[in-house]
Structure 1
């Protein structure tokens, strides 16, 4: 029998490349994932994955089925949202996304407060970089996202929700003399990946101030804020990060803030959601709740 849970398992395996990671992603056991994939293979009479010791490789049939499965799951979620809207329910599930800083330092506390007011709503938080979260909202996999940069897209609404400050950090034994814009290209700089909202904001501000960012001396690129912090602690270089992400380390003396001469990098975090789709009652409830908790 073909059902949505089996298709959800297929999508998860395709997107994670692993049965175990797929199980973690959709909160099932690995044997259950394997059983769902086997049932799909029996239903269609086709092999969907070549299983090797270190990898799970999708067949051509699996790639085609994946595209249809994503569309069916999207339509199903859309149907559930529309029906819940007419019932006016304040229960159910909310798929929420957060880029690195909101996902680690803002949303967990906000979700905890939200659940005290709406105990009937379960929140599933996906953390990724800004580009990934925006894309997942665009594709309908997430209803809402909180990200560190906006894009121009008529299909999406970006609503400022709170402010953030980006600072330059260094190892604790680094000189604390203020850094000018002219001195910045001489420093060994650790960057985030291109999809990072923090890094996009830094580049935009520096270019606006007249700095040729091609002159920046990049010594490494890291895929997470935590990796950046550890690299700075190890003495690899300096880095731009959200102040929210290093408050504890700075207070303990594990990292040092390098003041910037006549330069302050501030940005807004944005809530992103579809501009032309009806939000489910749980999503609308969260949207309204955060407005009472966060100051733009």
Structure 2
């Protein structure tokens, strides 16, 4: 396989055109076009349709794209492994994480990692948990540190932290004045939660559904800090990580109900982690209460 042509193919697909890909790769447009032509000739298929000024992957191109990303990632992993032999850990570490974990769980770990491995360039992408899973699966990042949900091979998930969730309201919310609060009481008031497709939303919604209750959603947003702000001004209740509780909100104990998320890291079982990624995983494992 011609790695240069494969790299050009991924660049055209991701950048949406030959000119943008050429700029991204610091090549001329004819050079990119030649590499795509060589790849198409070697595979015996057309990879892009040129519709006016638009460049779209064909069915064959769409089929090749995730595999091409994975092959390039493996090639880069091999190059890094060989370059790192006998040297201090260096290279680039690409990881995906959520804004909440990036704010509340990672700062101390990143500080220790950077101090211990100053030659490593960090590429941190802040995305939703479900997107983080997808980026690991497609080979775009080496690992994700995120909320853990159901995972199947080739993905491998490991728990680092248990993350208890608490029902929270504004101190002047009607529920804050009740001596006892039930799920039925909560269901009678508007809620604000992450989007329905998220792992956190499912945890909360399934808890209510098991009691035959439905949620009265005022709105959804995936930024937990935004949700907390909306709770603190009395717009709705929510279920938020206990680590976020402070004077701006009031925690509502709900007898018989305990909610929690699992936070941890996800890797691709078929991918050889770089030494930098292995070192970061080691810090994550050491940070786990079970370590």
- TM-score (ref. length: structure 2): 0.76
Equivalent-residue separation in structure 2 for 1:64 and 1:40 (angstroms):
22
Match of 1:183, SS? helix
Q: 1:199 aligns with which of 198, 201, 212?
A: 201
Counterpart position of 1:259: 253
| DSSP 3-state at the match of 2:106 | helix
Matched, 1:158 2:157: yes
The answer as to whether partners of 1:49 and 1:62 remain within 8 angstroms in 2 is no
Count of residues in correspondence between the two structures: 269
Asked if 1:76 corresponds to 2:78, the answer is no
Say whether 1:60 aligns with 2:56. Answer: yes
Mapped contact 1:96–1:144 kept (Cα < 8 A): yes
Give the 3-state SS of the residue equivalent to 1:172 in structure 2.
coil
Which of 262, 268, 288 pairs up with 2:282?
A: 288
What is the alpha-carbon distance in structure 2 between the residues aligned to residue 257 and residue 47 of structure 1? 56
**Mapped partners of 1:35, 1:47: distance in 2:** 23
Instruction: Please state how far the C-alpha of 1:66 moved relative to its aligned partner.
Output: 6.7
Given that 2:162 and 2:261 are in contact with CA atoms closer than 8 Å, whether structure 1 keeps it comes out as yes
The Cα of 1:82 is off from its aligned counterpart by 2.6
CA shift digits 1:251-271 (9 cap, x unpaired)? 3x3x33223223221232121
5+ residue gaps in structure 2?
38-47
Distance across 1 between alignment mates of 2:121 and 2:262:
27
- Find the aligned partners of 1:183 and 1:84 in 2 and give their Cα distance: 56
1:195-219 C-alpha deviation (Å, 9 max, x unpaired): 3232222234445xx3225x22112
- The match for 1:187 among 186, 189, 202 is 189
* Structure 2: distance between partners of 1:183 and 1:92: 53
Q: How many angstroms apart in 1 are the aligned matches of 2:69 and 2:271? A: 16
SS for the counterpart of 1:279 is coil
Shift of the 34–279 alpha-carbon distance from structure 1 to 2, 3 Å rule, reads closer
**How far apart are residue 67 of structure 1 and its match?**
6.0
Give the greater-gyration-radius structure (CA). Answer: 2
Query: For 1:92 and 1:49, how far apart are their aligned partners in 2?
Result: 39
Contact 1:198-1:242 at 8 Å conserved across structures = no
- Looking at structure 2, the residues matched to 153 and 82 of structure 1 have their Cα atoms a distance apart, in angstroms, of 25
Q: Return the TM-score normalized by structure 1.
A: 0.75
Helix, strand or coil: the match of 2:235?
coil
Q: Which residue, out of 262, 266, 270, partners 1:276?
A: 270
Structure-to-structure mapping, 1:84-163, within 5 angstroms: 84-86=80-82, 87-88=84-85, 90-163=89-162
Q: Deviations over 1:14-55 (max 9, x none)?
A: 5xx9x9xx9xxxxxxxx955987956776569996878xxxx
Q: Distance in 2 between matches of 1:63 and 1:168?
A: 47
Q: How far apart are the structure 2 equivalents of 1:7 and 1:239?
A: 45
State the Cα RMSD in Å. 3.5
CA-CA distance at 1:273 after TM superposition? 0.7
Runs (5+) with no aligned partner, structure 1: 23-30, 52-57
Distance in 2 (CA, whole Å) between partners of 1:240 and 1:129 is: 17
Residue aligned with 1:131, SS: helix
For residues 239 and 83 of structure 1, do their structure 2 counterparts lie closer, same or farther at Cα, with a shift above 3 Å needed?
same
Structure 1 279/220 Cα, relative in aligned 2: closer, same or farther at 3 Å? Answer: same
